[in-house]
Amino acid sequence: MSNLSKKTQQPLSLIYLDENATTQVLPQAAAAALSTMETLFGNPSSSHITGLQAKQIVDQTRQRAKLIVGAENGGIIFTSGATEGIQTAILSALHHVKKTLDKNKKYCLLYGATEHKAVPESLKHWNEVLEINAELKAIPVNEKGQLDLEFIAREVPNALMICTMAVNNETGVYQDIKRLDKTIRANNADIGWMVDCVQALGKTDLSLAQTSIDYAPFSGHKLYAPKGIGFMYVRENAPFTAFIAGGGQEGGLRSGTENLPGLAALNVIFKMLTNESEYTFTPVNTLHLFRQQIVTSLRKVFPDIVLNHCFENSVPTTINFAIPGFSSKEIMDLFDAANVRVSSGSACSSKVTRSFVLDAMGLPAWQSESAIRMSFGPAMTQPQIDETCKRIGLAAQALEQNCLMLDTNPIADKTELEGLIQFKVGGSCSWLYVDKKTKTALFIDPLPELTDRLQTLLACQRLKLIAVIDTHGHADHESCRGSIAVEFLAQQQSDSLGWPANALTTTIEGKPYQYIVLGDKWLIKVATPGHTNDSISLLLCDPIKAETEQLLVHYAFCGDLILMDSLGRTNFSTSSAKAMHTSLQLLEALIGTESLICPSHDYNNEFTTSIATETSRNSLLAQVMANKISVGDFSSQKATMDKHIIDESGSEIMCGALIGNCHKTTVREYDSASLAEAMKQPETIRLIDIREPHEYTLQHDENFATNVPLTRLVQFVQEHQQNKQEKLVLVCRSGSRSHLAAQALSRLGFEQVGHLKGGYALHQY
Ligand code: PLP
């Protein structure tokens, strides 16, 4: 973005705390790699001088590798990385046992439950390819991540191979190799044993030849060498089958011309490990102090922090933790904004983000779902750790300023809330409306996951909650209305959904409606049964001055009556499609076709909708609104529609069957160059950063002067209902939130909305 205009904000330098994923190549290693490309570029198989020089690098690196892993009498073969080593080990062991399999016996393949996916997936692959047909069994771990030795003792006699890991990549937990060795060999003297040593290199002492480990794969890119180079220790006389055949390099064990640049870089790293270099790594006891220093800083600002592993049995370079009330995505976004790279320490599935490693350790679900991993390596320095701690403090300050965490600073130091905020948990929504002038707030469809956040917000913003209301009794999730009401509205009398007993009454079209006052707005309650018989809609509107006046509705919180691309299901015991038909027509009569609808679900990241938008894609709704369908026909079509509700067996009960017309609109995608070009044009472009305020506070591009967080997008739409022609370009961290928001705005009628593809990640400050 540097070609857009001058920045005023000083960019923060990068702190990289994701070294269990991969590391930066150290300059000394990179220089050695470059030299093999430019000068010592020979083929180690050539017998001329250039080839001999290249071969010397291979030989030296192999000697040093032997020394480092304690492979006195075993062999070292160079590979492309650990995944290749894992294949080679598994192929070798299984190919060997295949020859002597007893067809009448049931065999298993054992692997640790917290193993890197490369291990079980490769076992599965070779088990199928070699037609071994053994059962794959995960060895359980205890809450400290240690393998269950009794399980191993029981299962290993029938196993064809056992795969364990030296150090876990998510938690840094190491295994007691000596005890494992004893247990395995006492119960099966010949079984092939692979130990994935990827995360152990440079972090723990390895004396592999002192053990009965058969195969130990390693990877260069986890310790400051480039990607594409790795090596594997193979015990003397261990069965071996070449995974790659060809020109006979590596003594025929692994063919293909050697990766000389990678080897030269690895050689430099090895020299540092063997203290033969002028450059040295940080000693292990100092690394322990570094970890402690980071944890102390984290604890100072996040006193509730929970560590997901013990320090007594993990290497000092990994910290895996969870902060109550914050998802791992939120913390990652926060640290990314502070230019500190951390990892979510978990594997993404389509819906839930959680760590199978922490699950295997039996940690509570919330810890697994909100796990954050900070990892560094032995090249870490004291100034970098000090800077890390400073950034942790800055990140916490940003959370405090935006009331995601409580502190004792005065309200004047806070970014004050005003208007509508949308909270989402999975596909469900809660809505908070704040009237800044009167310092009052209203919470609709409260989700239990948000209780703490709401409490913090109210206390921090000094807001008085005047009501917490459910639009209906939710079948898919618990409401936390009760607990919030007890804490903030102890004196208030209300009905079973939280509607206050002291509400006033007004008349619209000759009919009485109850309402409560919130600053200069009214919240009117309308009974809209259908989805359930207790369903209500809540209309936030301007006060009614004359009975005949058309309501000016800002937001219609209609629960599960109209969902985006759907109608609420009507197949519960208290549902009635007939009642829904009436409720839909009543809602349209009251709010018109353009008012914003804020449902209690948003399954497709559409944020908000209107009757006009929905009738244009939902023909059933369009027919109801145009009075072109009988109640009977509506009911039968509704019954058919409800048969298509998906995902009931999964983690979420859907509250309406999606019609399938939520096709994403195409929005203009900019890169730095096209955006700079567009900004030179006479037409004004409004650049909007749509990250959350705490991320924006930490750092943003000065060109993106407006901050419209995704949680306030609906309010932005409301405020711009009469001005949808403006040219907008949205940005976020990676381009994914900005894309969603741009699509939503475009669907809601914004005519010229685009986003910066790849976000700040690809267009750095
Ligand atoms: N095993 C462990 C424990 C790892 O952390 C990784 C890398 O993430 C691998 C195996 C795979 O290594 P490579 O990327 O070298 O194939």
**pLDDT digit string, tens, across residues 185-194:** 999 999 999 9
Bridge partner residues of 100 (DSSP):
none
218 or 480, which is more confident?
Answer: 218
What distance in angstroms lies between residue 196's CA and the mean position of ligand 1's atoms? 8
What is the residue-wise DSSP string for 116-130? Answer: -THHHHHHHHHHHHT
- Model confidence at 2, pLDDT cuts 50, 70, 90, reads very low
What distance in angstroms lies between residue 235's CA and the mean position of ligand 1's atoms? 21
The tokens describing 308, both together, are 């997901």
Q: Would 566 be classed as within a structural domain?
A: yes
CB neighbour list of residue 265: distance below 8 Å, 6 or more residues apart:
25, 29, 30, 32, 33, 220, 225, 226, 229
Structure confidence by residue, pLDDT tens digits, 329-349: 999 999 999 999 999 865 443
Question: What are the angstrom distances between the C-alpha of 5 and each of 679, 680, 696, 733?
Answer: 10, 11, 18, 19
What distance in angstroms lies between residue 115's CA and the mean position of ligand 1's atoms? 10
319 or 3, which is more confident?
Answer: 319
Average pLDDT over residues 300-306: 95
Same domain, 193 and 294: no
Give the CATH number for residue 732.
3.40.250.10
Which residues lie with the beta carbon below 6 Å from any ligand 1 atom? 81-83, 116, 118, 165, 169, 196, 198-199, 219, 230
Q: Determine the residue type at 79.
A: T
Atom 16 of ligand 1: nearest residue by CA position:
83
The tokens describing 283, both together, are 């000693």
Place of tokens 């870490």: 380
What distance in angstroms lies between residue 122's CA and the mean position of ligand 1's atoms? 12
Same domain, 215 and 102: yes
Q: What percent of the chain has pLDDT over 70?
A: 95
Domain finish residue from 211, 245, 273: 273
Atom 12 of ligand 1: nearest residue by CA position:
82
Q: Above 90 in pLDDT, residue 644? A: no
Q: Above 80 in pLDDT, residue 563? A: yes
Same domain, 594 and 728: no
Report how far residue 124's alpha carbon sits from residue 499's, in angstroms, rounded to the nearest whole number. 57
How high is the pLDDT of residue 6? 37
Question: What does the H/E/C string look like for 15-31?
Answer: EECECCCCCCCCHHHHH
Give the CATH number for residue 332.
3.90.1150.10
Tell me the angle at which helices 118-129 and 82-98 cross, rounded to the nearest 10 degrees: 40
Bridge partner residues of 523 (DSSP):
516, 540
Q: Would 393 be classed as within a structural domain?
A: yes
CA dihedral sign, ordered 608, 614, 620, 625: positive
What is the residue-wise DSSP string for 450-479? Answer: GHHHHHHHHHHHTPEEEEEE-SS--SSS--
How many Cβ atoms from other residues are within 10 Å of residue 611's Cβ?
22
> Which ligand 1 atom is at minimum distance from the Cα of 84?
16
> Which ligand 1 atom is at minimum distance from the Cα of 20?
5
Q: Determine the residue type at 192.
A: G
User: Rounded to 5 degrees, what angle do the CA atoms 679, 682, 684 make?
Assistant: 60
Our count of domains for the chain comes to 4
> Which ligand 1 atom is at minimum distance from the Cα of 168?
3
Which region among 97-111, 151-165, 394-408, 592-606 has the lowest average model confidence (pLDDT)? 394-408
Question: What are the angstrom distances between the C-alpha of 141 and each of 108, 144, 173, 216, 322?
Answer: 18, 7, 11, 21, 20
Q: Above 60 in pLDDT, residue 652? A: no
Q: Above 90 in pLDDT, residue 353? A: no
Q: Above 60 in pLDDT, residue 574? A: yes
Residue 256 burial class via C-beta count within 10 angstroms: exposed 0-12, middle 13-18, buried 19 and up: middle
CB 221 within 8 A of CB 23: yes
Give the CATH number for residue 496.
3.60.15.10
What distance in angstroms lies between residue 194's CA and the mean position of ligand 1's atoms? 14
Q: Above 70 in pLDDT, residue 408? A: yes
CB 64 within 8 A of CB 197: no
What distance in angstroms lies between residue 202's CA and the mean position of ligand 1's atoms? 15
Q: Above 50 in pLDDT, residue 8? A: no
Q: Would 412 be classed as within a structural domain?
A: no
Q: Would 716 be classed as within a structural domain?
A: yes
Report how far residue 290's alpha carbon sits from residue 203's, in angstroms, rounded to the nearest whole number. 14
How high is the pLDDT of residue 253? 97
How high is the pLDDT of residue 646? 72
What distance in angstroms lies between residue 357's CA and the mean position of ligand 1's atoms? 15
Report how far residue 655's alpha carbon sits from residue 648's, in angstroms, rounded to the nearest whole number. 10
The tokens describing 477, both together, are 């999730």
Report how far residue 529's alpha carbon sits from residue 577's, in angstroms, rounded to the nearest whole number. 9
Same domain, 388 and 497: no
Query: E strands of 641-710, at which residues?
Result: 668-670, 685-689, 706-707
Same domain, 33 and 12: no
**Cα-flanking dihedrals φ and ψ of residue 214, to 5°?**
-90, -40
How high is the pLDDT of residue 344? 87
Give the domain range for residue 61: 27-273
> Which ligand 1 atom is at minimum distance from the Cα of 81?
15
Place of tokens 């130091």: 413
Q: Would 639 be classed as within a structural domain?
A: yes
Residues belonging to the active site: 348
Domain finish residue from 366, 401, 436: 401
How high is the pLDDT of residue 348? 40
Same domain, 49 and 153: yes
Coil/strand/helix, residue 167: strand
Average pLDDT over residues 522-532: 97
User: Rounded to 5 degrees, what angle do the CA atoms 474, 478, 483 make?
Assistant: 120
Bridge partner residues of 465 (DSSP):
441
* Cα 575 → chain centroid: 36
Question: Within the chain, how many helices (H) and strands (E) appear?
Answer: 23, 31
Of 706, 702, 704, 707, the residue nearest 692 (C-alpha): 707
Give the CATH number for residue 137.
3.40.640.10
> Which ligand 1 atom is at minimum distance from the Cα of 221?
15
Same domain, 366 and 237: no
Average pLDDT over residues 255-280: 97
Same domain, 583 and 718: no
Q: Would 408 be classed as within a structural domain?
A: no
415 or 96, which is more confident?
Answer: 96
Q: Would 410 be classed as within a structural domain?
A: no
Same domain, 179 and 321: no
Average pLDDT over residues 593-600: 97
Same domain, 68 and 208: yes
Q: Would 278 be classed as within a structural domain?
A: no
The tokens describing 116, both together, are 């890197």
What is the residue-wise DSSP string for 535-602? Answer: -EEEEEEPPP-STTSPP-EEEEEEETSEETTEE----STT--HHHHHHHHHHHHHHHTTTSEEEESB-
Same domain, 679 and 694: yes
The tokens describing 716, both together, are 């932005």
- Model confidence at 409, pLDDT cuts 50, 70, 90, reads confident
Q: Which long-range contacts (CB under 8 A, 24 or more apart) does 643-652 make?
A: 645/569, 645/571, 650/351, 651/351, 651/352, 651/426, 652/351, 652/426, 652/427, 652/476
Buried/exposed code over 101-118 (b: 16+ C-beta within 10 A; e: otherwise):
eeeeeebbbbbbbbbbeb
Domain finish residue from 227, 255, 273: 273
Report how far residue 122's alpha carbon sits from residue 626's, in angstroms, rounded to the nearest whole number. 59
The β-bridge relationship of strands 215-219 and 230-234 is antiparallel
Atom 5 of ligand 1: nearest residue by CA position:
169
Q: What percent of the chain has pLDDT over 90?
A: 84
Atom 9 of ligand 1: nearest residue by CA position:
82
Same domain, 175 and 192: yes
Which region among 148-157, 195-204, 567-576, 699-708 has the lowest average model confidence (pLDDT)? 699-708
Bridge partner residues of 172 (DSSP):
none
CB neighbour list of residue 304: distance below 8 Å, 6 or more residues apart:
323, 324, 325
Report how far residue 439's alpha carbon sits from residue 434's, in angstroms, rounded to the nearest whole number. 7
Q: What is the mean pLDDT of the chain?
A: 93
**Cα-flanking dihedrals φ and ψ of residue 28, to 5°?**
-65, -40
**Cα-flanking dihedrals φ and ψ of residue 622, to 5°?**
-60, -40
Bridge partner residues of 320 (DSSP):
373
